A and B are shown apart, each in its own frame.
Chain A
């Protein structure tokens, strides 16, 4: 089977840096994706890591260690609009398996 673990909730203040961790167990692993979902909205793609290392996209970065079955999403210069749920997802063949999500609450 497959399983992903991520914290259920993280809180931070505006301007801070926050890291959301994700550990996974799966077979046939292709890569790790991250999606953002605002309350009541649709999930939207943030980043994808197939190889070990850090991928940077603006204020967001994502890291993967295949040997540790571990990844994280790093959000810098937090803004109020970053308050949302963040899901890690393992890509296995042509489907994604999502974690249960981390709710990020950004306060002033």
Chain B
């Protein structure tokens, strides 16, 4: 049982390049989330999904797109990377999104945009 995994672990991009971050979970969780974490800013929600085929915007969605084609995978896309998107990206999942449920986090993807 791997929990939540993220690919890649680290990436360097040039401004304007595109990339996709992959999140996978093997816990059969319905809800999945993408966060970004910047120094002194805590974790901010980018997008989330309440089930296969659904997506919703979080607090900071601009410049990102997501897809949830399969229940176990949640993809985060950057169509045209900007230096402001340099950050650590965390994916998380929870069983059903109920208030008392734990969110399980992946190990993170460190992205540097030059």
Min CB distance A46 to B, Å, is 10
**Contact yes or no, B58 A95, CB < 8 A:** yes
Tell me what chain A mostly uses at the interface: helix, strand, loop, or mixed. Answer: strand
* Contact partners of B33 in chain A: CB under 8 A: 95
* Contact partners of A11 in chain B: CB under 8 A: none
How extensive is the interface on chain A, given as a class? 20 to 34
CB-based nearest B residue for A46:
B102
**Contact yes or no, A45 B90, CB < 8 A:** no
> Which stretch of A13-21, A65-73, A97-105 is in the interface?
A97-105
How extensive is the interface on chain B, given as a class? 20 to 34
Q: Is B62 an interface residue (CB 8 A)?
A: no
Contact of B50 among A43, A94, A98 (CB under 8 A): A94
* Contact partners of A45 in chain B: CB under 8 A: 102-104
* Contact partners of B48 in chain A: CB under 8 A: 94-95
**Contact yes or no, A96 B103, CB < 8 A:** yes
Chain A interface (Cβ within 8 Å of chain B)? Answer: 8, 30-31, 41-45, 48, 50, 87, 89, 91, 93-101
Q: Given A8-B40, A43-B105, A45-B104, 15 other A-B contacts at CB below 8 A?
A: A43-B90, A43-B103, A45-B102, A45-B103, A48-B99, A48-B102, A50-B100, A87-B42, A91-B99, A94-B31, A94-B48, A96-B45, A96-B103, A97-B59, A101-B42
